Structure 1
Amino acid sequence: MIGGRPPDRFKNAEGERLRMDTERIAVLAHEKFPDRAKTALGVMRYGDQEVRAVLDRDRAGGRVRDHVPDVADAPIVESFADAHAAADGDLDALYIGIAPIGGGFDESWRSDVEAAIEAGCDVVSGLHYFLNEDEEFAALADEHGVDLVDVRRPDDDLTVATGASADVDADVLLTVGTDCSVGKMTASLEIVAAARERGIDAAFVPTGQTGIMIAGWGNPIDRVVSDFAAGAVEEMLVAVGDDHDLLVVEGQGSIVHPAYSAVTCGILHGAMPDGLVLCHAAGREVVHGYESFDLPPIAEYVDLYEGLANPVHETAVVAGAVNTKDVADDEAAADAVAAVAEAAGVPAADPVRHGADEIVDAALDAGLGVDEDGNEDDEEAADE
């Protein structure tokens, strides 16, 4: 686990923790792999799960390495039956690796989910459509003794925020975005990994379905009732904030997003962060999926995020994380990073292409992740 404490909602009726790590899994990504299968790629890159097959009808017969060279290879198959055969029947779970706008369930997936259940596999889903509320799936799962894990189902006992995030021992760093799908989760995970390499006791705080699948715990903030969104973030920070020295909270959406800004604001106020990392996709000029909306200038985002956060808890943008995956040329990628750094007035890096050390340095320079004497924390975190 990347850091944190799994809540009871990820236990089954017998009180046994539902595993979302060290499993042998197949990932469903029909017609979307790899470019529009963000959940699948996140689990493959950062999860402890062993991905033994990817389901994608459009790319069946190929291999993962044909499309994504930096993750473990696996066959791409047409159906769960093919995945089960490719894995010699040795599968623990089927993961829904797609997170479509609106989070709905595509009926063309039903036969694969049913086949997984009948094969004795758990099914893990991050959709807004809850598998446990599907009568056919629920009955079939009960018949075969498997679990349906809806990671986007929030706790039933969430409350409003009280401001307790300000009192946790850990420093809090929050990734915020210029848009959705700019790499906030990826940046968060890369920052945690780089910080731990430096001996800083850092932990990842997941707020979305993919992060929850990777870390095995978390609250899905985009599914929480608005009054409780900040409180759901606060609950997580209070649960783990005294066990670590730096918490990196996964941001969601963007404060200017016409659909998702409420989620962004709830996380910003609930986390009460000591520092912000502004995440941007190089070349993005309009809101993804809402192309009639232009993105503001980078400098304006700095003012917007700091201005909205500061009445609740004083903070500042300390670094930028630039996603240059769509920039083929290294020199052009470096120029894109430099442009964000200049516009934001802070150091910036592509944490995947260039590593997250410069972002960690910026956090340290801002006094985050250091002990009371101003030293980086002990070496134990790097060994965890």
Structure 2
Amino acid sequence: MILAEGHFGPQSSKTANACLRYIPNEVVAVLDSTQTGRTAQDILGLGGAIPVVGSFAEGMALAPTALLIGIAPAGGQFPEAWRAIVNQSLRAGLDVWSGLHTLLGDDAEFHALATKHGAVIRDLRRPPAMLDVGSGRVRELDATIVLTVGTDCNIGKMTTQLQVQQAVQARGPRVNFAATGQTGILVAGRGIAVDAVVADFIAGAAEALTMEAAHDAEIVLVEGQGSLLHPAYSGVTLGLMHGSLPHAMVLCAQPTRVSINRNAWVPIPPLTDVITLYERMMAPLRPSPVIAVALNTFDLDDEAAQQAIARAQEETGLPVTDPVRFDPSPIAEAIAAFHARRKLVVPS
């Protein structure tokens, strides 16, 4: 059961939405009393007939085994109004999964209830105990590393990689996804939430998970985080870039977003300027071109979305698509072709 009380929607329940898109068979209900009686399909176009229930009791009637905190708010703080529902879940013996910065396992009340009732609290953002600083070990890998970067946060960097993964693999190479955020970890079953790592070790964490993903893959699709343009989250972006040392990047953008979310004073530059910024930031460590653009057009009708894609193609000269709404093949083909070209030369 996913807890999204008062927040279930396209932009406000990122974690819930990813589960409904990629692992719907593991979801029995979404708890949001403001939208009771509807389904995930009604609200998001995802998840089929998974119901939205109005109370914890309604959800329990569907026999869940765990409660998932379904939001990823700015700052990642636990909504205290949800404490009673988490308490009920633990008393019922449900495991509690959370991707918040607030580590629920460190809460004395929650810990005591989990211990008493045999439940497990899984904090997806809890960093590993042993991390090192980045040292460029990724240069030793034969695998092609592709990182998604963005004009802003919450714009589709994880979704793009998950959408293109199968399409790239269908073209021959073995492909792994490296999860760097709490939602990606939930979907992939492994990874490190790099935004919860002490700053000195962000690059080291990115390096470690990239090398792990490359163990049995020819292409590693690294989930991007933040944006170099973001006044709050640029640090995690740069650490991830330097730790994963991508051979190529895919830029993610939302055509209707003209300024950084919740920071209207920071305008988003033209796509060509953003591409130049990312490429120049990578150049001293490893040349890394932006090879495709992924647009998030959820708030446009079909005609306007296609027009936005055409404009972005004309502006950048790169393959462009919305990999959720339309065929992800243009991005997948760009990645596969880049990998094939790279294998013809000495690995960098």
TM bin (shorter chain): over 0.9
User: Deviation per CA, 1:187-235, whole angstroms, max 9, x where unpaired?
Assistant: 0101112112333211111111110111111111111111110110100
1:322 correspondence with 2:322: no
1:31 correspondence with 2:9: no
Kindly provide the amino acid, as one letter, of the partner of residue 68 in structure 1: L
Q: CA separation in 2, counterparts of 1:125 and 1:370?
A: 41
Instruction: Choose the corresponding residue for 2:330, options 352, 358, 363.
Output: 358
1:295 correspondence with 2:271: no
Q: Percent identity?
A: 42
User: Deviation per CA, 1:169-189, whole angstroms, max 9, x where unpaired?
Assistant: 211010000111111111010
Map 1:91-240; keep pairs closer than 5 Å.
91-240=64-213
Counterpart of 2:243 in 1: which secondary structure? helix
Kindly provide the amino acid, as one letter, of the partner of residue 364 in structure 1: A
Kindly provide the amino acid, as one letter, of the partner of residue 45 in structure 1: R
Q: CA separation in 2, counterparts of 1:122 and 1:49?
A: 17
Deviation (angstroms), 1:49 = 4.8
1:242 correspondence with 2:218: no
Map 1:275-290; keep pairs closer than 5 Å.
275-290=248-263
| Residue of structure 2 equivalent to 1:81 | 57
Contact 1:201 1:244 in 2 (8 A): yes
Counterpart of 1:241 in 2: which secondary structure? helix
1:262 correspondence with 2:238: no
Counterpart of 2:163 in 1: which secondary structure? helix
Q: CA separation in 2, counterparts of 1:241 and 1:223?
A: 23
Q: Quickly say closer, same or farther: Cα 1:99–1:119, change in 2 above 3 A.
A: same
Contact 1:93 1:122 in 2 (8 A): yes
Instruction: Choose the corresponding residue for 2:225, options 252, 256, 268.
Output: 252
Kindly provide the amino acid, as one letter, of the partner of residue 115 in structure 1: Q
Contact 1:81 1:112 in 2 (8 A): no
Q: Quickly say closer, same or farther: Cα 1:371–1:299, change in 2 above 3 A.
A: closer
Q: CA separation in 2, counterparts of 1:93 and 1:187?
A: 27
Kindly provide the amino acid, as one letter, of the partner of residue 336 in structure 1: A
TM-score of the superposed pair, with normalisation by structure 1: 0.87
Q: CA separation in 2, counterparts of 1:168 and 1:97?
A: 35
TM-score of the superposed pair, with normalisation by structure 2: 0.95
Counterpart of 1:191 in 2: which secondary structure? helix
Q: CA separation in 1, counterparts of 2:213 and 2:333?
A: 23
Q: Quickly say closer, same or farther: Cα 1:48–1:55, change in 2 above 3 A.
A: closer
1:65 correspondence with 2:65: no
Q: CA separation in 2, counterparts of 1:123 and 1:305?
A: 38
| Residue of structure 2 equivalent to 1:9 | none
Structure 2 unaligned spans of 5+? none
Counterpart of 1:61 in 2: which secondary structure? coil
Contact 1:54 1:77 in 2 (8 A): yes
More helix as a share of residues: 2
Counterpart of 1:67 in 2: which secondary structure? helix
Contact 1:340 1:348 in 2 (8 A): yes
Q: Quickly say closer, same or farther: Cα 1:37–1:369, change in 2 above 3 A.
A: farther
Kindly provide the amino acid, as one letter, of the partner of residue 254 in structure 1: S
Contact 1:96 1:125 in 2 (8 A): yes
Q: CA separation in 2, counterparts of 1:165 and 1:153?
A: 24
Contact 1:64 1:75 in 2 (8 A): yes
Q: CA separation in 2, counterparts of 1:104 and 1:357?
A: 37
Root-mean-square deviation (Å): 1.5
Map 1:357-376; keep pairs closer than 5 Å.
357-366=329-338, 368=339, 372=343
Deviation (angstroms), 1:144 = 0.9
Number of equivalenced pairs:
344
Q: CA separation in 1, counterparts of 2:107 and 2:340?
A: 44
Contact 1:168 1:237 in 2 (8 A): no
Deviation (angstroms), 1:242 = 2.7
